[in-house]
Structure 1
Amino acid sequence: MADNDLGDFLRNGRSGLRPEEVGMASYGTRRVPGPRREEVAVLAGINADYCTRVEQGRERRPSAQVLDALSRALRLDDARGHLHRPAGTAARRPRRPRARPGQPRSRQLMDGYPHTPALVLNRTLDILATNALADALYSPFHPADNLARMTFADPAGRTFCQDWDRAAQATVANLRQAAGCQRDDPRPHGLVDTLTENSADFARLWGSHTVRGKTQEAKRFLHPDVGPLTLSYQAFDVREAPGRQLVICHAEPASSSAEALHLLGSIHATRTRPSPRGADRT
């Protein structure tokens, strides 16, 4: 962790905002594009000198209330867990409901979407379950186990993701959120350490302290079997397993991507169909 990780994160949050986005008039020469420290202090309702000391690393233990106010002022609500982590003041987690006994319904839900890829992810972007079309979509990866590893450490990642830079930034942002939400879980931190050690691109992006929530922008893929695909997606929380999401990818109806998905499903079904008994094995 950097010597002033919290300050670096706050500076990055300021520079990522335009003054008008937070209701501040832009005037004078600005050394950074975003709001000044004094303006952030006004928005957060805290003393300007104290705000400066926090950002400069002279105040190492700001209260949870101050960090919450700064996260609201900088529009970093999605990154609230990560903001608390370097200061050691993580907010108490809400008590998780006990999982209901019985078989999870995620598999039934995924199988109910035979014409579109569906998968279940956890916060660390591990792929926990897939339907047949999701298996076909991610078939270029070996193995298709974790979206972050697939993006940064699998040779297929850069070719498969046509907007690789955007996908890489979103992946790092999601892992930042996971690390903030799961402070005591070694999985996200171990994954970050591994990717930092093995991917210079990941290390660079991780050092930028960027944390953003998920967007609903369409993603562009290039599949070796069917060519270009443009897919939108919707994510749904799995109530019986907090922290997991069911992700449904879909193509625009009657589009070339929809036709490509249909073809991909046919190819995958043919490849995975058992050979007829007695077929020639020579």
Structure 2
Amino acid sequence: MDTPAQLGDFLRTRRARLQPEDVGLVAFGARRRVPGLRREELAQLAGVSVAYYTRLEQGQSGNASDGVLDAIARALRLSEDEQAHLRNLARPARTKRRAAPRPECARPATRALIAAVEGVAAVALDRRNDVLAWNPLGHALLAGHLDFDGPDRPGERPNLSRMLFLDPHTRELYPRWDEEARRAVASLRVVAGGVPDDRLLAEQIGELSMKSPEFAALWSRHPVHKCAFGTKHFHHPLVGAMELSFEAMALPDDSGQRVLLYGAEPGSASEAALRLLATLTGGRVPSGVAAMPAARR
């Protein structure tokens, strides 16, 4: 991905959402040709020269100091996630030339953990949202219309981002699809900013931009948010409406893999629906994965 271009797009979208009066400035000029703050107004707020800020926005200054980036972040009123994203784009990590990427896989311990979880939908994902493994409830919740063993075949692995925007079955799963789409794109932006050399991720973003006008429109707004936990609403074809909490737990390495867990509030109608869905899965365990032994009492 073109990191300098991404930096410029990000800064322009953040300038566009602020008006001079929002930040205590008096607007000058009878006609404003661009929405939001002008470059010179932002430079004034951040305490840098207009020429320097212009070079930064055009991707021509790769050595911006922490102080300058902090000042720009304050001027633009960036969130914590947005500040981290700004740093990633302004000072991308230098990486060595990499060999062609190999298909990722979930570690045996991760697969065993997912298989052992009961009453909770669990899915192992790579940073591109390819499904590496799931337990029966995770499969039933998110993709019961797909082959359970799909994650074991790298060329056929489900991808949650593609499913959300390109699979009509998945679209019907989310009654608040617009909200879920915004959340997905914001999270993908965070990942893309941290790994600008990921060719497969760049190809995925290009594919979604071409095939989904809705994805392309959201991507152009440059939303940024980690979305590591929260609540999602589902309307499952087998058990109906559910409100589930989710947690995305990053694995303790630099792979970018994470385990996504979905659960329901104890005693709620959603918990009853999730239990029913678990019953309907038949308790299947992936072949070759042994369940972890129960703890002794």
TM-score range normalised by the length of the shorter chain: 0.7 to 0.9
What residue is the counterpart of 1:210 in the other structure? 223
Please report the TM-score for the alignment, with normalisation by the length of structure 2. 0.71
Please report the TM-score for the alignment, with normalisation by the length of structure 1. 0.75
Structure 1 segments unaligned to the other structure (5+ residues): 94-102, 274-282
1:214 match: secondary structure:
coil
2:123 match: secondary structure:
strand
Task: Select the residue among 265, 270, 277 that pairs with 1:264.
Answer: 277
CA distance in 2, matches of 1:157, 1:242: 27
Partner deviation per Cα, 1:30-54 (whole Å, 9 max, x = no partner): 9789777567546655335532554
Instruction: Go from structure 1 to structure 2 and tell me whether the alpha carbon gap of 1:266 and 1:112 turns closer, same or farther (over 3 Å shift).
Output: same
Q: Does 1:14 find its partner at 2:15?
A: yes
The alignment yields a C-alpha RMSD, in angstroms, of 3.6
Q: Which amino acid aligns with 2:217?
A: R
Instruction: Go from structure 1 to structure 2 and tell me whether the alpha carbon gap of 1:8 and 1:174 turns closer, same or farther (over 3 Å shift).
Output: same
Q: Does 1:126 find its partner at 2:127?
A: no
What residue is the counterpart of 1:90 in the other structure? 92
Instruction: Calculate percent identity across the aligned residue pairs.
Output: 37
What residue is the counterpart of 1:233 in the other structure? 246
Task: Select the residue among 78, 83, 89 that pairs with 2:81.
Answer: 78
Instruction: Go from structure 1 to structure 2 and tell me whether the alpha carbon gap of 1:49 and 1:105 turns closer, same or farther (over 3 Å shift).
Output: same
2:123–2:259 Cα contact (<8 Å) kept: yes
Partner deviation per Cα, 1:206-225 (whole Å, 9 max, x = no partner): 22222222153311011100
* Higher deviation after alignment, 105-114 or 201-210: 105-114
Instruction: Go from structure 1 to structure 2 and tell me whether the alpha carbon gap of 1:60 and 1:177 turns closer, same or farther (over 3 Å shift).
Output: same
Deviation (angstroms), 1:174: 2.1
Q: Which amino acid aligns with 2:61?
A: R
Q: Where has structure 1 moved over 6 Å in runs of 4 or more?
A: 17-21, 26-36, 84-87
2:259 match: secondary structure:
strand
What residue is the counterpart of 1:108 in the other structure? 112
Number of matched pairs:
258
User: 1:1-282 alignment to 2 at 5 Å?
Assistant: 5-16=6-17, 24-25=23-24, 37=39, 40-41=42-43, 44-52=46-54, 54-55=56-57, 57=58, 60-65=60-65, 68-69=69-70, 70-71=72-73, 74=76, 75=78, 77-79=80-82, 83=86, 89-92=91-94, 104-142=108-146, 145-214=158-227, 216-240=229-253, 242-269=255-282
